[in-house]
A and B are shown apart, each in its own frame.
Chain A
Amino acid sequence: MTFLKYTLFAFARDIVYAPIWWYTGGAVFIYKWLVSTSASTWHSVGLAVWIKNIFTPMFQQYDWQGRIISFFMRLFQIIFRFVGFTIIFVLYLAAFLGWFLLPVLAIMMIFNVMLTSYIPTL
């Protein structure tokens, strides 16, 4: 009995509980994940530092040529890094949305299949 309690019964309970958790505790989890991963990606891309230093010349080149080249170089870097970050962020966002939509879509598809396979026999 103990064996069944901790194996099959627990499993059965889990099947019922999992969907509820997915949209409650799971939702909180995936939200926190989105925020923390995005934040650390933002930090490692260093966009904020680049924007802050946009008028600071690179490699200590304080002459006017250096300043001009640095400005454009930084502008390019900022755009490049921004695009990079956006792509990664969109992927994260897709995962986040997928968390909510994927189960629904899967269930809908199953119903769909059941429906379509049901109709011809009518």
Chain B
Amino acid sequence: MEEEQTKPVPLLICDQKDQAHIRRACRGSWMGFSVHNYFFAWQRDLSNKAIKGRRIQASFDSILNFVLMLLALLSLLQVGVIKLFTSFSPEYLTYIPEALLKTYITAPAAILIALFVVSRMVRAAQKVDFVKKEALDADYDDAVSWESVSKYHRASFHNIAHAWAPRAVRAFEDAAIKSHKLGVHFSLYTLFEHLLATPDVKSFLIRFELPPDEVARSFHDQFLAGEVDHAETNGTMWQTIAKSYLDAAKNGDPKVTVFHLFDACLMVDPRFEEFFEKLGVQPKVLENGVQWFRFMNHLSGEMRSFRKAAVGRSTNDTGAAMTGLATPLLNAIGEDLTKAAQYGSLPVTVGRTKEIGSLLRAFESGSQAALLTGLQGVGKMSIVEGLAARMVSEDVPEVLKDKRLIRVPITHIVSGSDVGQYQQRLMQVIVEAVQSGNTILAFEGIEGLFGVRVGGGVSQDLSDTLAELLEKTRLIAIATTTDEAYRTAVANTRFGSMATKLEVTQVEDNDAIQILESRVFSVEAQHGVFFTYKAIEQCVTLARRFLQDEAMPENAIKLLQEVAVYVRNKRGVNQLVRGEDVGFVITQKTNIPTESINEDEKDKLMNLESTMHERVVGQDEAVKAVSAALRRARADLSGGKKPIATFMFLGPTGVGKTETAKTLADVYFGGEDRMTRFDMSEFQDAQSIYRLIGQPGQQGTGLLTEAIRQNPFTLLLLDEFEKADKGLLNVFLQIFDDGRVTDSVGRVVDFTNTIIICTSNAGSSYIQEQVRAGAETEVIKQGLLDQELKQHFRPELINRFDGVIVYTPLNEEQIEDIAHLMIGGIEKRLYEQKGVHLDVTERAVAQLATKGYSPEFGARPMRRVIQSDVEDILANILLEGKVQRNQTIVIDVDGAVHIE
């Protein structure tokens, strides 16, 4: 929580106890706080008697009002009907029963009764108040006393209690009654316990996948089971009341709801936040959750005040005084955003006040065109929609007042086959907009106009036509385009230089969560499912990690919709959408195994050594070092600003470097094929950098950048790293450090979801020598770092690696283990494909191992030996058809074969 929120409000608390005294001494206020000559007072007795009395009175009053009004209206009706009959057709009066002809209440008396009820209703309605923004206008006045407050004007007194929503009053008073009944002091604890049982908070807890009953029970156990010093918490109760009011004022809510109370409790007592933290809900998350529910109340509340502001606005296309011209073409190809905002059909723009502010400033300072640039899906149009909403509530500079904002997709202008038509259509749109005199145009995807030439050759570009028309007509326009299109097409053109450029950046995760929270209701209503907070969070996290073709928040919003459809189709309506569901949808979209998304990374990391040893033989120290470095890299709170881990594998050929990489890809990314491999010996000259990150200005030509863009969740294996050009290594320096690189067309490629492994044979002979001499691995590694590696890599590059791992040559025993593994693989494949068993005897394996052992080449010769001595024999047998399904081929020493 922010410090400002936890700071107590300076309260003036009345020291009198009974109501009569409070009325006299404190103007009927139990407590209050003063802000710049306003006094916000709590004027509601919370004693059992008073609460019950008010409830009785409320039901009595509504019944009485209803009965009296009915009586008055029926009497008037009766009198009127009798009058009609007597003056027009008195003969029918005989058919009416005697009892109905008698006047019980005369017309004047009925009128008086009706007026009496009206007066009661008006007075009741006058008691209803809304949260006053003035409570935030200035600093608290902490020097006031009841004497000074009593001199305040009556109109500057605001009763906080009157601004409470009925449900909040009900919950609060119920909590009071409950504590009185149990004979305990009404404190913050009893209040919070009761709040946890209200339907509002219960539905909140369900969204966090917390069972409400259990939460209430554990709250009771923690705070209310023992002897609690309730008296000490009395002052905090008043704080909670004041804070809930200020919380509502701060968020622009018209009423204090149960959530403001809930929020205020969290602000006043930090132990409540700790309580939720223990249940696994972090304070930041809790705040987001409260924000979410505020949206729920807010959306309706905001719409109400928004409509109120928009009520006087004319929806007529030609303006209130019909000075404008009708705009048939614009109406046909464009969308009137101001009208949509007025009817409330535009989604709410969350945040982005800064961007809308600079847009308004641009127009106010005389700029005629504004250009919003940003990645696809970053929310450029949402800013324009936010502007439309501001225009409707007239909260804009004079130049934008009483104007229509019309969205014109450029694709609608440049459609058809005739380029001449495009220009004609564009001119017609502008002419209509100018003639209407009250139109602002928002061109979506302005890049579509660039490079379109009328008549071909040297004739004018359509974008120049637009710029010229805008300059000539003083029409105000907004345009949107992507970053890439801006650089390649728009920059340095006539339009590009006349427009004020505003860059729209991607929203942060937390803002994205709030944007999703504001949209989730319509998705829920559409598909009949309910999202948990975790699901929303996962949508944002996973969209950022795996759906990088589009920007935040568009990718997350689309994912949210897909997940809703997925859950409805799978489990039906009225189901909760959980975090795992998002993982399943991501799997379907990207083929990344779900386990690797949903499974806790912790488990993967803890068991890394044993999983790796299932495939990598020997190399204990290397495996240990890789696992430790990976754990270290993940525990390091780099905040996702670096690759998951970067390693340098050193050692002679055939000792398990690649095998380790494959195993890592399998364990961490869920499949050996999730590995992107580059042989760096192919990038030996200085020009090869363009093959790696793309030719300047040409999209999609960088081998490395495209591979990672399309597959961001991958293991990147860079073989023979020392052979790459020195200039190239600088690129990797940046990737290792920031986890990102900019390709030749300016797109940022994200490497933060990759594990990067560079292998190198540099110093292989040194390693072999040292091993032969019996040196320890640690000593060998130090020697490599001190001497051998310096010849190939700069020290800063070596320092960037999370681990430099040395692979030692394999001994005969390990080679035998490898032989076992390889033969095991063949056995499995043979059975799966042909249904035939294979049995290679122990003696045969030992013979193969001796034959395939080579200190220089590691396990490589082993593979050849197995090919010639096992696979060839099997091939012959299979081709000759000597073996049936479910039979066993037994291979013994010297290639002796028989079939069982």
Contact = CB atoms under 8 A, between A and B. Distances in A.
Given A6-B60, A53-B323, A60-B435, A110 B119 contact: no
Q: Name which of B54, B116, B437 has the most chain A CB atoms within 10 A of its CB.
A: B116
Given A29-B126, A49-B320, A106-B108, A60 B57 contact: no
Nearest to B59: A7
Contact of B57 (A10, A26, A53): A10
A58 B109 contact: no
Contacts of B376: none
A59 B311 contact: no
Contact of A7 (B56, B311, B325, B437): B56
B321 A52 contact: yes
Interface in A1-60: 2-3, 5-7, 10-11, 14-15, 18, 21-22, 25-26, 29, 40, 43-44, 46, 49-50, 52-53, 56-60
Contacts of B324: 59-60
B253 to A, nearest CB: 23
B296 interface: no
A40 B322 contact: no
B115 A102 contact: yes
Given A6-B60, A22-B119, A40-B312, A53 B108 contact: no
A18 B879 CA distance: 109
B120 interface: yes
A107 B122 CA distance: 21
A22 B115 contact: yes
Nearest to A14: B120
Contacts of A7: 56-57, 60
Given A5-B53, A60-B436, A110-B106, A102 B111 contact: yes
A59 B322 contact: yes
A20 to B, nearest CB: 10
Contacts of A10: 57
Interface in B59-84: 60, 64
Contacts of B111: 102, 106
B112 interface: yes
Q: Name which of A15, A25, A60, A110 has the most chain B CB atoms within 10 A of its CB.
A: A60
A103 interface: yes
A26 B108 CA distance: 20
B123 interface: yes
Contacts of A26: 119, 122
Interface string B692-720: 00000000000000000000000000000
B783 to A, nearest CB: 87
A46 B320 CA distance: 7
A56 B435 CA distance: 14
B123 A21 contact: yes
B107 interface: yes
B86 interface: no
A103 B748 CA distance: 78
A18 B120 contact: yes
Interface in B24-74: 49, 52-54, 56-57, 60, 64
B318 interface: yes
Contacts of B108: 105-107, 109-110, 113
B469 interface: no
The dominant DSSP class at the A interface is helix
A52 B321 CA distance: 9
Interface residues of A, number: 36
Contact of B311 (A15, A40, A49): A40
B314 interface: yes
Interface in A72-117: 102-103, 105-107, 109-110, 113
Nearest to B115: A103
B436 A43 contact: no
A56 B323 contact: yes
Contacts of A103: 112, 115
B326 interface: yes
B115 A58 contact: no
Contacts of B123: 21, 25
Given A15-B116, A18-B119, A106 B109 contact: yes
B54 A6 contact: yes
A110 B107 CA distance: 9
Nearest to B436: A60
Nearest to A108: B108
Contacts of A106: 108-109, 111-112, 115
Contacts of B325: 59-60
Nearest to A74: B321
A19 B42 CA distance: 29
Contacts of A53: 321, 323
Contacts of A110: 106, 108-109, 112
Interface in B83-121: 106-109, 111-112, 115-116, 119-120
B321 A56 contact: yes
A76 to B, nearest CB: 12
B126 to A, nearest CB: 7
A4 B109 CA distance: 26
Nearest to B434: A60
A6 B57 contact: yes
Contacts of B120: 14, 18
A6 B53 contact: yes
Nearest to A114: B106
Given A10-B57, A18-B119, A29-B126, A107 B323 contact: no
A59 B119 contact: no
B816 to A, nearest CB: 94
Nearest to B314: A46
B325 to A, nearest CB: 4
Contacts of B57: 6-7, 10
Nearest to B316: A46
Contact of A6 (B56, B116, B318, B321): B56
Contact of B322 (A5, A44, A58, A102): A58
Given A46-B321, A106-B112, A113-B106, A3 B56 contact: yes
Given A5-B53, A21-B119, A102-B111, 19 more contacts: A2-B53, A6-B53, A6-B60, A10-B57, A18-B116, A21-B123, A29-B126, A46-B321, A50-B321, A56-B323, A59-B318, A59-B322, A59-B326, A60-B325, A103-B115, A106-B109, A110-B108, A110-B109, A113-B108
5 contacts: A7-B57, A25-B123, A59-B324, A106-B111, A113-B106
